Structure 1
Amino acid sequence: MPQSKTLSQSAEPQAGLSSLSERLDTAIDIAIAGNRIVGAVVLVSRNGQAVYARAAGFADREAGKPMEIDTLFRLSSVSKIFVSVTAMVLVRKGKLSLDAPVTAWLPDFRPPSPDGEVQPITIRHLLSHTAGLGYGFFEPADGPYHRAGVSDGMDLSGLTLDDNVQRIGSVPLLFAPGTAWHYSLSTDVLGAVIERASGLPLPKAVRAFVTGPLGLTGTDFAAADPGRLAVAYTGGPTGARRMADLEIIPLPFVEGSEGLRMAPGRAFDANAFASGGAGMIGPAGDLLALLETLRIGGDPLLSNGLVEEMATDHTPGMELGPWPGRAFGLGFTLLRDPAAAGLPETAGTWRLGGAYGHSWFVDRAKGLSVVAFTNAGLEGQSPGGFFPDDITRAIYSGV
């Protein structure tokens, strides 16, 4: 099994680094030995210094292919941070306005509220998931999104982005915009807005405004090198197993839902639409670079003021069902109540993950940016798996 790499250039004493390495190695090794995950890449930066980097286990267990630091992963909802930041760059450039209606760019996107009225959905609503939209994976198999043929962005649908947004807009909202919170296809709709505002297809917009300026060449809506893409696994009665061509994975924390429709082959389909909420592919290191850019103020992408806008609670008084103790900013969750969340992070910590088995967080008070990618959904994500909590507790045991 590949060994951990603990880097010596840090503000912490070497003894502290060794302890961090041992704690994280143990958490990763236990998860792999228990067949909860197959492989992982875990990166930790503190105050701008890399203090831990490890690739462990297998990218392809059946082929005996080890995980590497630069392995590519299906990002699922980790895509949201890249697309949300792209939208914020367009805000900085004056091409988008947070409180402008979506119809300024998508004039036909007018889903009615539950009372039948069509009320304005703003860019801020999309970024904060307060638009009233939902996800098909929260519904039963005969739910309204399924009946409308909406894709959650991880299946092989044969749709274009415009097709899918049109279908999303045909379904009535769960609530009037701005009155509640629900994790949703908002970022997919945001992707269509970005296309109109920038005049570029979404993949080119993300490259032009985020990954390109940061020199991140591994993250896109297609695999930069298909040979580096990790195989996807999911939980089973005897532990992690290789995903089939189409998986419908139950969500234990959502009563009555059909579950996630996941087609790993989507990553190789050149015609798959660019799902802003779930469709990107990339390595852990690219995400860490973006998180660090935001943590230290946003330059060269965003002003510090726009980063603070992203890190502001845009859901006061609202409960985030699957994430107790958390609020939502613009593109990611914020820790509102550490006790309710049951984790040792500092209040205000940013966090999100992805259904293919990923998690990330930024604790600015502690100077921490952490990326934990696995190739085993749902175990590697929160909610759904224990691995993110294991990694978090291992880090904070010595902070």
Structure 2
Amino acid sequence: MQTADADTLGFIPERLNRLPAFLTKGYIASGKFKNFQLLVGRGDDVALFDSGGIAREDGTPVADDQLFRIASMTKPVTSIAFMQLVEQGKVALDDPVHRFLPEFKDIGVYAGGGGAVPFTTRPTDSPMRMVDLLRHTSGLTYAFQNRSNIDLAYRERKLENWHGNYDLDGFIAELGRLPLEFSPGTSWNYSVSTDVLGAVIQRVSGQSLDAYFAEHIFAPLGMHDTFFTVPEDKTGRLGDCWTWNPKEPVMYDRAEKSLWSKPPKLLSGGGGLVSTAADYHRFCRMLLGKGALGDARIVSRKTIALMTQNHLPEGKQLTEMSQAMFSEAQNAGTGFGLGFAVTDNVARSMIPGSKGEFYWGGLYSTAFFVDPLEDLTMVFMTQLQPSNVYPIRRELKTLIYSALA
């Protein structure tokens, strides 16, 4: 990875150099993380690229081209893919979801029941629309939330098992039989909404989700190391993945027998991709470049402008609308756009940043942000679940912004 002179890019070098030392001492030496890889960019240039720790339990060091499971950092990719179809006039943000997924035609809102008692429902106040999938106001949920009878039903049916009984069509059919947690547009809940969006992309485009991504996003952007299934000739670059434990992290997914080394039955637009820091930086550069990278135009600049505004009803923030027990977002001062959290009020966030900065992260503690005002991007990779154990994202942002000249 070629880095440019940090001083020339508008950073204070000694302050920028605090980042690797902070990660090494605070997270690797302490045993909190097994590894990290950090990329800080300004415009098209890389100001900082550094790695630490081990990629695998056998002591293999982290390589520059290390493959990481990026989980929910898949969601912005799926959102961009959907907006390409919007630009072609094939679908619209205010289209009801049941226009393309008729399985959702008669879906209702939870009114009672669950477990051994059949669900009862009431009609939705308004139909679920495509915009609800993009901004997580659909009424859908995640199985791991452990909060309601509905997410219990998701767990019982093993809806989010990528190697289980459901492909995307089967997944949609089963979801359509279950109630929503709330009427679409009335609350915010982190959910399988983006997986549903992936099913819409398949039906509207006529391509499988992996084929669509490869042709319309990854190939044009030169993202040759991003995929749902790690090719056999690249499995040596995939590291292990760990789960947090009070004593020390325990193995979750071993690279040699990784779930990501075999094709999933369910292609998850909400969390299924593997990528590299360099590849995801190219994706971030496209976002920073208002939809273009080099000669590749992925979406228009007006589409990026639309996606990175707060789309929560009445301009509300997540603290006002979120019902989720789990969230990848710092809720204070934060709105939600079409696939990204968006900083609306820097003071309320209590983290250095810029109004209009947008970002997201993944279950395995990965993260990215794009700040158009400062021409700034960050990609952070590691492999520890869940992502809310340590305040690493707040810490990284604080250190990066404090290094700006």
Shorter-chain-normalised TM-score: which range?
A: 0.7 to 0.9
User: 1:267 deviation in Å?
Assistant: 1.2
Please tell me whether residue 294 in structure 1 is matched to residue 287 in structure 2: yes
Describe the superposition over 1:98-157 as per-residue Cα deviations: whole angstroms up to 9, x where unpaired. Answer: 1111112111223213461144211111111111111111125x8323325454646643
**1:396 and 2:393 correspond:** no
Match of residue 90 from structure 2: 95
Unmatched tracts of structure 2, length 5 or more: 111-120
> Shift of residue 216 of structure 1?
0.8
Cα RMSD after superposing both structures = 2.2
Q: Distance in 1 between matches of 2:201 and 2:157?
A: 20
State the AA in 2 paired with 1:227.
Answer: G
Q: Write the distance in 1 (CA, Å) between the matches of 2:12 and 2:79.
A: 35
Work out the CA distance in 1 between the residues paired with 2:158 and 2:361: 19
Letter in 1 for 2:305: E
Distance 1:377 1:285, change over 3 A: same
Tell me the equivalent position of 1:185.
192
Q: Check conservation: 2:136, 2:188, Cα contact below 8 A.
A: yes
C-alpha distance in 1 between matches for 2:278 and 2:7? 18
Change in 2 beyond 3 A, CA 1:150/1:184: farther
Q: Paired residue for 2:153?
A: 147
Aligned residue for 1:361, secondary structure, equals: strand
User: Match of 1:53, SS?
Assistant: strand
Distance 2:336 2:145 in 1: 18
User: Which stretches in structure 1 are left out of the alignment for 5+ residues?
Assistant: 246-263
Give the 3-state SS of the residue equivalent to 2:396 in structure 1: helix
124, 134, 138: which one pairs with 1:127? Answer: 134
- 2:335 pairs with 1:327: yes
Change (3 A) 1:167 1:284: same
Q: Does 1:339 pair with 2:339?
A: no
Provide Cα deviations, 1:312-357, integer angstroms capped at 9, x if missing partner: 1011224354432211000010112223322111122111100112
Q: Deviations over 1:266-302 (max 9, x none)?
A: 3133243101101111112111111111112102001
TM score, norm. by length of structure 2: 0.86
- The residue that corresponds to 2:50 in the other structure is 54
Instruction: Give the deviation of 1:265 after TM superposition.
Output: 3.7
Decide whether aligned partners of structure 1 residues 151 and 91 sit closer, same or farther in structure 2, where only a CA change above 3 A counts: farther
Alpha-carbon deviation of 1:240? 2.3
Q: Does 1:304 align with 2:301?
A: yes
Q: CA deviation at 1:5?
A: 7.8
Instruction: State the aligned residue count.
Output: 372
Aligned to 1:254: none
Task: Give deviations 1:192-245, integer Å, cap 9, x for gaps.
Answer: 000000000010111122112112111111113221111001211223232268
Q: Are the structure 2 counterparts of residues 152 and 71 from structure 1 closer, same or farther at C-alpha, using a change threshold of 3 Å?
A: farther
Equivalent of 2:180 in 148, 173, 183: 173
Moved more, 117-126 or 297-306: 117-126
Are residues 155 and 221 of structure 1, via their aligned partners in 2, closer, same or farther at CA, if it must alter by over 3 Å? closer
Going from structure 1 to structure 2, the CA distance change for 1:27 and 1:203 (only over 3 Å counts) comes to: same
For residues 385 and 355 of structure 1, do their structure 2 counterparts lie closer, same or farther at Cα, with a shift above 3 Å needed?
same
- Identical amino acids, percent of aligned pairs: 28
Q: 2:270 aligns with which of 265, 268, 277?
A: 277
Which residue does the alignment assign to 1:237? 246
Check 1:67–1:153 CA distance in 2 against 1; reply closer, same or farther (3 A cut): farther
Do residues 11 (structure 1) and 8 (structure 2) align? yes
In 2 relative to 1, CA 177–328 (structure 1 residues): closer, same or farther, beyond 3 Å? Answer: same
